[in-house]
Structure 1
């Protein structure tokens, strides 16, 4: 039988705090969502000054990344290249850069979604938190 890794609430809060600190240090006002491997919400934060719209967007980005096991940017690139058919706005909102999968020992354990600044900056915030999280697991 295999061992299955998963994010605990403490893990989600650590990821949220690392993302939040990075955003503060860069004067970003964002919303951040942490989901488990199924895309279910574990923790979320909308910073003061972040648009209300970012709360839904960060969650959709995280869900997209968890379910696909890929950064949400992969879908943004597909859409930009005209390779995607009909999409609903809700589906499309999760397919913007800023959702990053969290892989531990080759297993998907969850994802982070960030929204509120330029999409490459959203992804940068998420990846920073993931890197800090994985570094503490060693």
Structure 2
């Protein structure tokens, strides 16, 4: 049994590609957002705040990315009655120093079947936040395919 393992690492260059594509999508649909990208260690790798994005959404975007990367699933998975008051999962949002986010808009970044980070988008509707995040991740995946490997 190996004591260590190798994991692909998300680079700042790849995060910038995702952020730029997300910002273009946000402009296209007419909403300014906060965009946070964390790596697989849950540390902030890149952040962008568009001019009119809600200032109170800065931490929300970061926490969406933190949650999606840490649990390796979209934050929309936590927007169910299980996590509402009275549900068995209610209170999860108070864990991890209050950073666990149950709001839709956190999307894992998966390369070669491995979650290497996540993007969190906040300030639009839930649907807009997801659409913007998925656009950025798609642009990143296109770059990876073009450069022939996961070493971004």
Q: TM-score, structure 1 length as denominator?
A: 0.91
Aligned residue number for residue 30 of structure 1: 33
CA distance in 1, matches of 2:17, 2:11: 10
Segments ≥4 residues shifted beyond 4 Å: none
CA distance in 1, matches of 2:88, 2:26: 33
Which structure has the larger Rg over C-alpha atoms? Answer: 2
The reply to whether residue 125 of structure 1 matches residue 132 of structure 2 is: yes
Given that 2:66 and 2:99 are in contact with CA atoms closer than 8 Å, whether structure 1 keeps it comes out as: no
Deviation at 1:13, TM superposition (A): 0.8
Unaligned runs of 5+ in 1: none
Aligned residue number for residue 18 of structure 1: 21
- Residues 104-128 of structure 1: per-residue CA shift (max 9 Å, x gap): 0011111000000111210111011
Q: TM-score, structure 2 length as denominator?
A: 0.83
Number of matched residues? 137
Deviation at 1:88, TM superposition (A): 2.7
Unaligned runs of 5+ in 2: 146-152
The reply to whether residue 79 of structure 1 matches residue 83 of structure 2 is: yes
- Residues 38-70 of structure 1: per-residue CA shift (max 9 Å, x gap): 210001011111111111100000000000000
Given that 2:107 and 2:134 are in contact with CA atoms closer than 8 Å, whether structure 1 keeps it comes out as: yes
Aligned residue number for residue 46 of structure 1: 49
CA distance in 2, matches of 1:4, 1:91: 24
The reply to whether residue 101 of structure 1 matches residue 108 of structure 2 is: yes
* Cα RMSD (Å): 1.9
Deviation at 1:91, TM superposition (A): 4.2
Deviation at 1:32, TM superposition (A): 0.4
